[in-house]
Chain A
Amino acid sequence: MSEPQIVLEAKGITKQFPGVLASDNVNFDLRKGEIHALLGENGAGKSTLMNLIYGLHRPDKGEIIVNGKQLDVQSPNDSIAAGIGMVHQHFMLIPVFTVAENVMLGDEVTKRGALDRVTVAEKITEISKQYGLDVDPNALVGPLPVGIQQRVEIVKTLYRNAEIVILDEPTAVLTPQEAEDLFRIMRDLTARGVSIIFITHKLKEVLAVADRITVMRAGRVINTVKPSETDSAQLANMMVGRQVILTVDKKDHEAHEDILKVEGLSVRDQRNLETVHNVSFTVRGGEVLGIAGVQGNGQTELSEALTGLRHPTSGKVTIDGNDLTGKSPRVITEAGLAHIPEDRQRHGLVLSYSVADNMVLCDYYHAPFSSRGVIQPKALDENSRKLINAFDVRTPSPFVNAGKLSGGNQQKVIVARELSRSNVKLVVANQPTRGLDVGSIEYIHSEIIKMRDRGVAVLLISAELDEIMALSDRIAVMYRGQIVAVVDAKKTTREQLGLWMAGAHVETV
């Protein structure tokens, strides 16, 4: 068998950003018609490498060879001309444009100066048919489901005749079924000679679809392997650089009395649309209730209503018997809520405050942190040193601004502040590990389980099904603002949950 043709080769790529060597002498190659996965944690240098290939940044050293020719990328135009297309993790689509407008942008077809939307629509339909990428060229992009938006992104690259397609974390926003669909599309593409670079940090996906896997860590390539010659544990070790425990170790739970009781809760979002409809559930002490669901199905508004950030339009929320419906966050916090918010930088921390200040945001106003309305720096200092130690926060000092810490350490500051309080009865954790490295995820998961074992009620909201499956005792699935199913975590499967997340109708079990 002859060696397959190499369509893209990166040789000795080095890129220095202020303070970080984002890419350190990286070598990488892509063969025609293969799916080559690029695996690594956040900050491992995967996206940097792709941005260098795509021309959004320029390498300090090294060369990129496409189809035997050296590529000198000044801007994305050069890489597009060389047949490289990229589907970014955060879609590069304009919500107020139609599919056709989004696809043609930058490579417009015009007829006597006017945009020729008809010709473009025909071309899109043709691509759709050829690759099984069903999209309506005249639909507005904004209201489309993310899975379809992703197709539009892929169509965008094919419209530009891309032969090399880079997919950056494409499954992060998809349901398991949508992800399956994407994998089918990826195989269709490779069958037609398109080569794919698939960037991800999910081990399962890599093993399922990739032809080859390159693992990166701290800006370097650790190894390139075939899926048949490796397994999850080995890949994880390469990613992190040490033994990792992939499963969360937890005892069987002992559920106590009801702590959080939600009855008939309805919430409107800022556009005044009702995004949570008549939701009822309970969380008992000593159990983790996981709320699974694709992002944007009302989870954000639900957690905001529970934590006092948003007024519910109707319904009742009680924590340990106290009616806290529509009360202020401070009242709810004092009643025993610990909140790990969805967006740690906007709602979890004051980035321009020091770590020490951030660690007392919930109780700076009473003793020992305040005395007659004056903050006691000594108490703050002691508290922060204690928590930094106990929660393993890596910070140069307690006086560094929270904004300067890495994502994992920022999250640890929040976790430390919220979980260290003595009166916690309920933890609401919304996407507690989003965007974190494997080490921090492991740590935060163990802290959550510790709280549960102490008899605290935990409500875990996450779009990561693996996280929900690993931590929860019971799982509720949210779809279009309603809880469509509540099941025992041990008696369900990923596939079943995926179906519910996609809206398959069920009776509450």
Chain B
Amino acid sequence: MDWKRFGFIALIIIVLFSVVVMVGQAKQPPLLIVTSMLATTIAVATPLTLGALSGVFCERSGVVNIGIEGMMLTSAFFGWLGAIYMFHIFKLPPSVSIVLGVVFAILTGALMSLLHAALSITFKVDQIIGGTVINILAVGLTGFLNRQLFFGATSVFKGSVPSSPGVLPTIHIPITELFASACGTSATCLQNVQAINRVFDQKPIAMGAVLLVFFSHYILFNTRWGLRTRAVGEHPKAADTVGINVVFMRYANVLIGGMFAGLAGAYFTIESVPSFEPLLTNGRGFISLAAMIFGNWTPIGAWAASLVFGASQALLINMQIFRDVIPPQWSFLQESYIVGLTPYILTMFILTGIIGKTTSPAADGVPYEK
């Protein structure tokens, strides 16, 4: 990977963090601000990271997937719905219901991607159109099912939306416990250790996403599966002539991608907040595509780019925390819509190719004809 790209990413993140530190230092020590912002960055980057991984697997195998947004939205809905059904109808304990909800979300992602795979691989439909179909379908489907079928007047819930069994818990990584003794009696030291600990205390999907980034990178570049996946996305005919089943590889990778998108969907309704509202993914599927491109179709690069978008969302969240202490010359930052634009403006800048050229897989979006 090129250092220019990573340097650019690091620079933007540092700038975004610096803004918050400057604004908030009157209220909190910088270390505390940086660690809490870092924690937020990693957490809110989760769906983008997973979405970008989804794109990486699809596109590395030669299938353009702009339907990630729709896959996420549908999965978010069915994951949430699954958890509610398990809890209220099948009377399972909340923890089991939540976990099953995640499974439902992943399966939904897989099913949606199966539709995309069938359209683009078997029926050779233009893949941009196929992806658009998924996105439109997702909006219509979740909107309709949410209002009419499952929670309508004639449904088992008789027109009211029951409460969800809850969200996934934060997993505590015992850094404080391990290092507290080293601090001795110093209270500031202990505070700092606790602050750093906060970065690592994440919820399971957020943690899983980071692990999946490195796992995917290894799979893609160091295993037989990865070599074949990339071969099929670069030059399917060459892969075919050495006996690799192009159609199978593409289906499998699109399905894997769909599962990643499904897990991203679960983040919204099972890890972040226990509720669903129409259009809640709010363009994050598309931003994750931008992250994938900026990361040059590599998992680690895509993750780094996702962190940029995560940081800009963390900026938005933190600006609200520090509303009352924003100095007058920074007062425009109080307008949440201005800060809220940051991720989208960044997307535009990054996609105009500010930092070098990215190279997509050679057969990306090209159906394979024998």
Contact surface of A with B, Cβ cutoff 8 Å: 54, 56-57, 75-77, 80, 86, 88, 91-97, 101, 104-108, 110, 113-115, 156
Contacts and interface: CB of A to CB of B under 8 A. Distances in A.
A75 B235 contact: no
A105 B223 contact: no
Nearest to A77: B243
Given A56-B370, A92-B237, A106 B223 contact: no
B161 interface: no
Nearest to A117: B222
B239 interface: yes
B163 interface: no
B243 A80 contact: yes
Q: Chain A interface mostly helix, strand, loop or mixed?
A: loop
B186 interface: no
Task: Pick from B218, B235, B238, B245 the residue with the most CB of A within 10 Å.
Answer: B238
Given A76-B241, A88-B241, A94 B224 contact: no
A114 B219 CA distance: 8
Given A110-B223, A115-B224, A92 B235 contact: yes
Given A86-B241, A106-B244, A107-B242, A114 B222 contact: yes
B240 A105 contact: no
B309 to A, nearest CB: 27
B243 A75 contact: yes
Contacts of A108: 224, 227
B117 to A, nearest CB: 21
B234 interface: yes
A93 B231 CA distance: 9
B353 to A, nearest CB: 14
Interface of B: 218, 222-224, 227-228, 230-231, 234-235, 237-245, 362, 370
A391 B139 CA distance: 59
Contacts of A110: 223-224
A94 B240 contact: no
Contacts of B370: 56-57
B235 A93 contact: yes
A88 B222 CA distance: 27
Contacts of B218: 114
Given A105-B228, A115-B223, 8 more contacts: A56-B240, A86-B241, A92-B235, A94-B235, A96-B234, A105-B244, A114-B223, A156-B242
Contacts of A88: 241
Contact of A92 (B223, B230, B242): B242
**Nearest 7 A-B pairs (CB), nearest first?**
A106-B242, A77-B243, A92-B238, A108-B224, A76-B243, A94-B234, A92-B241
A115 B225 CA distance: 10
Nearest to B245: A75
A379 B126 CA distance: 39
